[in-house]
Structure 1
Amino acid sequence: MKSLGSIRRSFAPWADPAGKPYISFENITKRFGDFTAVNNLSLEIYEREFFALLGASGCGKSTLLRMLAGFEEPTSGRILLDGQDLRGIPPYRRPVNMMFQSYALFPHMSVEQNVAFGLKQDGMPKAQIAERVAEMLKLVKLEAFAKRKPHQLSGGQRQRVALARSVAKRPKVLLLDEPLGALDKKLREETQFELMDLQQNLGLTFVVVTHDQEEAMTMADRIAILDKGEVMQVATPAEVYEAPASRFVAGFVGTVNLLEGSVAGREGSNLRITGASGAQILVENAPDHVGTGEIAFAIRPEKIKVSPRPPAEGTPNVMEGEIFDLAYLGDMTVYHVRLADGQVVKASALNSARLTDDQLSWNDRAWISFTPDAGVVLTR
């Protein structure tokens, strides 16, 4: 039997030229009066995919989810699910279910009654309901809590009840609107992996809305980053982090240093950039479409090395500065290095040893360096 990790690693239907999307948003626009919440957006999601809509408040991600659920209708464009146009189909007739951040459990009902509610509404026979409820409670590991009321449960347990109720009707697609927002950090991290395992075991398509970058990076097969009702990039978590498509994406996902500059010339497949301070940056395998003019070089803090002494002569991409600030976080130390032109560059170093030599402190002179393949060139 394959492990879930193996399944996730090999799952990439979007890379198959013959693959057909399961959910298609085609030129979707949604207006509320004079406000455009979603602007001519197109997006494709594949069957069994764990897909995340990521963005700040007001970017249109929840509106997109509500249109898929049937609670809102697009102003223009269409939404297809397994080839069927969903326009005009009411929420209760769509093969989707939605789990809200508030969980919306019935306080007067027990756990098993909450899970059974939708099945009773559909007229399922009692024996089948009992069997399905037992199956769902086992799936979310709440068999021992079947008779309890919601107020007798922890936040994480209530979240699992809501999840069991959402999947009990076996929808084709489960929509999750900030599903872990009410949980504390430790429980949220644990539940992320539980959701991933549950999604794989059920074989459903999950579409989750979140503003939490770490949550999206952990759970999703692919992420769509939204801003002002438009898609900025759709890619796997690794691609979004390592190869952002724009300054916005680079700055939104994780921490990044953006070094503005201009193209100084090419050396084969390498690009040389002159930074604002005159510093020379050598970039390996820069895209061919990068021409002349103003560009940005994006590099993550963990790709930058900080040293109290200058690197060996001939080392590329070296800049001198001063430790402006630092933070010791236990597993790593974060340095803010102020360069000669006043720009502050963030660098992080793992604390792999209990004691280190040549520790840097505030106001110390320091040299930062990075390899030519450590960052990415951005033209927009």
Structure 2
Amino acid sequence: MAKSLGPVKRKFSPWTDPSATPFIRFENVTKTYGDFTAVDNLTLDIYEREFFSLLGPSGCGKTTLMRMLAGFEEPTSGRILLQGQDLAGVPPYRRPTNMMFQSYALFPHMTVEKNIAFGLEQDGLQKADIKARVEEMLKLVKLEPFAKRKPAQLSGGQRQRVALARSLAKQPKVLLLDEPLGALDRKLREETQFELMDIQHTLGLTFLIVTHDQEEAMTVSDRIAVMDKGVIVQVATPAEIYEAPNCRYVADFIGDINILEGKVTAEGGAPVSPGHPPVMTLVSEGLQIAVEQECPAAVGDAVAFAVRPEKVRISLDQPADTAVNAAHGEVWDIGYLGDFSVFLVKLDDGRIIRAAQANVSRLVDRPITYGDKVWLKWPLDAGLVLTR
């Protein structure tokens, strides 16, 4: 078994090393069902010990991609390699992978320890080895007191951990997780996400998770592949996906964002200060926007400006500079979410911009409320220009 990376995990980035060899490689993979193309000429590299997420809406091809790696589906064309070995024709039970399904698929008539031991017994391991391995897995998922219980006597979170232990018992090189937390409530799902990360760090295995939950992918992943209609739109770290989406689809799919259509009025000139990108300006229906960003757009090009709500400052007072990156409007609606509030501000031209503000005070009463005339303001580096 691979050695744990421990606390150095967050510095783990083999994808930035040109000499690093991919652990898993999807090479020009296409999967069709009649006239429908589920995966379209897709190439993707995943590295050993990564916690990698396939993220996208239902029907985008992410589960099909995982099932092809597991051996439950065969590519129509292209190759899938694991440690350099072409997996074509290798049946699922001969592959060094194991899959944890959303339904958990536990045997209801077996105890927790029997469920975990099932695959080991099928492989013909010695009883002493099976007992030791089951005890190790029970300890790993913190279920020692529940070893003699049956699935019906467990909570949803406990059943999820039994399924995880069973998937890990055979020591696969790759663990495949198909929407593994979808059946859990929000609080338990958040707790389990961190448990999964801790287990993956401890074992030093490669985890590949399929999910449509953006927050889940952002929490657990080293990298994320955002998929749409059978193709990968962007592969990057969670921070890069969120802060630097490469197109409108990714920007809009990941979290909340304001997207304003505009036209470039001036390309980047001299940098504001040494080491900073040049400032590009654009106009969006009269709204003057300046962006500190390297961008291939030219004067006159139609582009989109994207800025996250938490980067937009909202105030009752007019800011000192209203020439650029400032807008005036009326509070149209408010969403109180406990830790922060989201304000929907209707601009004078009728457009809606979202601004988020942390609730740092215990007071529920807010100084800004419905119908207030407010100003919105954001800095030069808060948003970005999208050309596609």
Q: Which TM-score bucket, shorter chain as reference? A: over 0.9
What corresponds to 2:274 in structure 1?
A: none
Secondary structure of residue in 2 paired with 1:161? helix
What corresponds to 2:243 in structure 1?
A: 242
What corresponds to 1:363 in structure 2?
A: 371
**Which of 264, 273, 297 is the aligned partner of 1:290?**
297
Q: Following superposition of structure 1 onto structure 2, how do residues 1-380 of structure 1 map, counting pairs within 5 Å?
A: 6-266=7-267, 267-268=269-270, 269-275=278-284, 277-287=285-295, 289-292=296-299, 293-313=301-321, 316-355=324-363, 359-380=367-388
Q: Verify the 8 A CA contact 1:28 1:40 in the aligned structure 2.
A: yes
Cα drift, residue 319 of structure 1? 0.9
Q: 1:153 and 1:345, CA in 2 relative to 1: closer, same or farther beyond 3 A?
A: same
One-letter amino acid matched to 2:18: P
One-letter amino acid matched to 2:161: R
Q: Verify the 8 A CA contact 1:28 1:75 in the aligned structure 2.
A: yes
Q: Percent identity?
A: 64
Cα drift, residue 7 of structure 1? 2.1
One-letter amino acid matched to 2:82: L
Cα drift, residue 354 of structure 1? 3.1
Secondary structure of residue in 2 paired with 1:156? helix
Name whichever of 137-146 and 351-360 sits farther off.
351-360
RMSD: 1.5
Uncovered stretches (5+) of structure 1, i.e. residues with no partner = none
One-letter amino acid matched to 1:374: A
Deviations 1:147-197 (A, max 9, x none): 111111111111111100000000000000000011111110100000000
Deviations 1:88-143 (A, max 9, x none): 10000000000000111111111111101101111111110111111111111111
Q: Verify the 8 A CA contact 2:6 2:202 in the aligned structure 1.
A: no
Write the distance in 2 (CA, Å) between the matches of 1:355 and 1:115. 50
Name whichever of 322-331 and 257-266 sits farther off.
322-331
Write the distance in 1 (CA, Å) between the matches of 2:312 and 2:47. 37
| TM-score (ref. length: structure 1) | 0.96
Q: Verify the 8 A CA contact 1:286 1:377 in the aligned structure 2.
A: no
Secondary structure of residue in 2 paired with 1:189? helix
Question: Which structure 1 residue ranges, 4+ long, deviate > 6 Å from structure 2?
Answer: none
Q: Verify the 8 A CA contact 2:60 2:228 in the aligned structure 1.
A: yes
Secondary structure of residue in 1 paired with 2:304? strand
Secondary structure of residue in 2 paired with 1:319? strand
Write the distance in 1 (CA, Å) between the matches of 2:366 and 2:23. 56
Q: 1:138 and 1:318, CA in 2 relative to 1: closer, same or farther beyond 3 A?
A: same
One-letter amino acid matched to 1:240: I
Write the distance in 2 (CA, Å) between the matches of 1:50 and 1:93. 23
Cα drift, residue 325 of structure 1? 1.0
Q: Verify the 8 A CA contact 1:263 1:274 in the aligned structure 2.
A: yes
Name whichever of 88-97 and 338-347 sits farther off.
338-347
Write the distance in 1 (CA, Å) between the matches of 2:365 and 2:173. 57
Q: Verify the 8 A CA contact 1:23 1:80 in the aligned structure 2.
A: yes
Q: Verify the 8 A CA contact 1:220 1:237 in the aligned structure 2.
A: yes
Q: Verify the 8 A CA contact 1:308 1:358 in the aligned structure 2.
A: no
Name whichever of 181-190 and 311-320 sits farther off.
311-320
Deviations 1:281-315 (A, max 9, x none): 0101332x222310011100000001112101467
Q: Verify the 8 A CA contact 2:288 2:323 in the aligned structure 1.
A: no
Write the distance in 2 (CA, Å) between the matches of 1:170 and 1:290. 50
Write the distance in 2 (CA, Å) between the matches of 1:97 and 1:233. 26
Secondary structure of residue in 1 paired with 2:219? helix
Q: How many residues align?
A: 376
Secondary structure of residue in 2 paired with 1:197? helix
Write the distance in 2 (CA, Å) between the matches of 1:358 and 1:241. 29
Cα drift, residue 144 of structure 1? 1.0
Name whichever of 350-359 and 304-313 sits farther off.
350-359
Write the distance in 2 (CA, Å) between the matches of 1:169 and 1:154. 24
Write the distance in 2 (CA, Å) between the matches of 1:241 and 1:306. 22
Q: 1:129 and 1:214, CA in 2 relative to 1: closer, same or farther beyond 3 A?
A: same
Secondary structure of residue in 2 paired with 1:367? strand
Write the distance in 2 (CA, Å) between the matches of 1:286 and 1:373. 11
Write the distance in 1 (CA, Å) between the matches of 2:26 and 2:18. 19
